[in-house]
Amino acid sequence: MSSILNLHPITRRSLLGGLAATSALVLLHPFAARAAANQAHLRLMETTDIHVNVFPYDYYADKPNDTMGLARTATIIDNIRAEAANALLIDNGDLLQGNPMGDYMAYQHGMKDGDVHPVIKAMNTLGYTVGTLGNHEFNYGLDFMFKVLGGANFPFICANLTKGQLASDPKKDDLFFKPYVIVEKQIKDGAGNESPVKIGFIGFVPPQIMLWDTKNLEGKAQTRDIVEAAKAWVPAMKEEGADIVIALSHSGIDGAAPSEKMENASLHLAAVDGIDAIFTGHQHLVFPGPKSWDGIANADPVKGTLHGKPAVMGGFWGSHLGLIDLLLEKDGKSWKIVDFTAEARPIYHRDDKKKVVADVADKKDVIEAAKTEHEATLAYVRTPVGKTSAPLYSYFALVADDPSVQIVSQAQTWYIKQMLADTEFKDLPVLSAAAPFKAG
């Protein structure tokens, strides 16, 4: 499906002029045309689960890949900003880990004072309003995470991560980050007049980080149930004057009944009073979208709603830009939502033969921002680690003894033996098991 076909709620009115000029089509959203004097069109854009994929490059295969890269998503961001005056950009977490550039920065390069991480350098060129934390932010330890996030020119929020233990009341929790921010933005209404709207953003991380990163977090942090934290903080945001409240939920969509510290709690989070729209993530899926959402009550994967409220999940590695369009109406002093659309815009599509076709080009500023580290990562992944006397392949790995599985197993033994060398277990025999897989 082409990206243009995906833009079902978008009027194609301005296509005629756009086609001739560039591939960046300027398509006017109907809310922009519809907004009356007391109404305004606000666009909220989401990147999520970038996992250090700034370049459209697969470092494992060592070749370009058109299905990924913030440099591509950034071009969609530019296109959307060109379509409407009022547009804000947020990130929904899982930035720092997930590809060799992340490992290179954590294990090889490190973060010295004054260093700015390449994914942050890239994001700093894009004008983010706010970001929330994903579970993978904790993979390299808290010190590394704080050094990296400290380089951003926008704030990070998280309402359910405390220092030490939980307090008796969520609002007394000693949080690592501000639970929310309220951003005042001047927006242009249908008559062209500017007036302020207060947009509140509140962030959530999966409570399971305490299990997944025990060694980095035990004794230092604790997590609270996502819905419980929302119920405590959202009324405070309203009291502080937020016209609308947007949840940045690094958590997926699960139709199961609510449970304590649920990992994928976005559906139940959407039901919390006062939350108006919700950005989701973590599952590496696309919402609204065709797959994975059948039979989940109170989720509409066509319109893009959870409990009737606009919701998106913008894929992963930069594959999509999540977009929620709101038509706001001034109701006395405060703004409220009177209409909305939600979509996930892809950076590529597949042709008849299932071949990947890029829909957008790289944004140069983003490429430039992370170029040095990209090249260093290429050198890092191309460093030889050994030599084999015969070619290794895995064609028969599933049916017979296989050298590709053997070498994985030997590497595991070598690694563990080194870890045991200076411990009381140094003389224990080490066995290694590896699951066969076929590649190529």
Reference 415, options 402, 432, 393; nearest CA is 432
Contact range with Zn ion by CB under 5 A, out of 50-58, 96-104, 197-205, 278-286: 278-286
The smaller minimum CB distance to Zn ion, of residues 42 and 123, is found at 123
DSSP of 384-407, one letter per residue? -----SS----TTTTTS--HHHHH
The smaller minimum CB distance to Zn ion, of residues 231 and 284, is found at 284
Q: Are 198 and 136 in contact (CB under 8 A)?
A: no
Contact range with Zn ion by CB under 5 A, out of 14-22, 91-99, 370-378, 430-438: 91-99
Contact range with Zn ion by CB under 5 A, out of 54-62, 90-98, 236-244, 414-422: 90-98
Q: Are 347 and 72 in contact (CB under 8 A)?
A: yes
Least Å distance between CB 248 and Zn ion?
13
Give the orientation angle of helix 70-83 with respect to helix 364-381, to 10 degrees. Answer: 170
Least Å distance between CB 330 and Zn ion?
37
Contact range with Zn ion by CB under 5 A, out of 19-27, 79-87, 93-101, 226-234: 93-101
Contact range with Zn ion by CB under 5 A, out of 92-100, 119-127, 140-148, 216-224: 92-100
Token couple for 403:
């050298």
Contact range with Zn ion by CB under 5 A, out of 94-102, 251-259, 386-394, 411-419: 94-102
DSSP of 296-357, one letter per residue? -TTEETTTTEETTEEEEEE-STTSEEEEEEEEEEEETTEEEEEEEEEEEEESEEE-TT--EE
Report the SS3 class of residue 80: helix
User: In this structure, what are the phi and psi dihedrals at residue 233, rounded to the nearest 5 degrees?
Assistant: -90, -30
Least Å distance between CB 223 and Zn ion?
14
Told to check if 282 binds Zn ion by CB under 5 A, we report: yes
User: In this structure, what are the phi and psi dihedrals at residue 331, rounded to the nearest 5 degrees?
Assistant: -115, 90
The smaller minimum CB distance to Zn ion, of residues 103 and 276, is found at 103
Angle 430-433-439 (CA atoms, 0-180°, nearest 5)?
A: 140
- Which residue's structure tokens are 């050994």? 386
Least Å distance between CB 281 and Zn ion?
6
Least Å distance between CB 101 and Zn ion?
18
Told to check if 98 binds Zn ion by CB under 5 A, we report: no
Total residues at the site for Zn ion (CB under 5 A)?
A: 4
Least Å distance between CB 208 and Zn ion?
10
CA distance 86 to 66: 29
Contact range with Zn ion by CB under 5 A, out of 55-63, 102-110, 134-142, 263-271: 134-142
The smaller minimum CB distance to Zn ion, of residues 32 and 96, is found at 96
Least Å distance between CB 69 and Zn ion?
18
The smaller minimum CB distance to Zn ion, of residues 251 and 305, is found at 251
Told to check if 135 binds Zn ion by CB under 5 A, we report: yes
CB neighbourhood size of 412 (10 A): 15
CB neighbourhood size of 22 (10 A): 10
- Secondary-structure percent of the chain, ordered helix, strand, coil, rounded to 5: 30, 25, 45
- Which residue in 46, 83, 91, 94 binds Zn ion (CB under 5 A)? 94
Number of residue whose CB is nearest Zn ion: 282
Counting other chains too, the contacts that 20-26 makes at CB distance below 8 Å and 24 or more residues apart are 23/360, 23/361, 24/75, 24/78, 24/79, 24/82, 24/360, 25/79, 26/79, 26/82, 26/83
- Which residue's structure tokens are 């004072």? 113
Q: Is the Cα torsion angle 114, 120, 125, 126 positive or negative in sign?
A: negative
Told to check if 47 binds Zn ion by CB under 5 A, we report: no
Least Å distance between CB 136 and Zn ion?
6
Least Å distance between CB 94 and Zn ion?
4
Least Å distance between CB 126 and Zn ion?
21
The smaller minimum CB distance to Zn ion, of residues 72 and 282, is found at 282
The binding track of 13-32 with respect to Zn ion, each residue x by CB under 5 A or -, is --------------------
The smaller minimum CB distance to Zn ion, of residues 58 and 94, is found at 94
Distances (CA, A) of 314 to 45, 98, 212: 9, 17, 23
The smaller minimum CB distance to Zn ion, of residues 72 and 136, is found at 136
- Binding to Zn ion (CB under 5 A) within 186-245 occurs at none
The smaller minimum CB distance to Zn ion, of residues 48 and 129, is found at 48
- Which residue in 118, 131, 134, 322 binds Zn ion (CB under 5 A)? 134
The binding site for Zn ion (CB under 5 A) comprises: 94, 134-135, 282
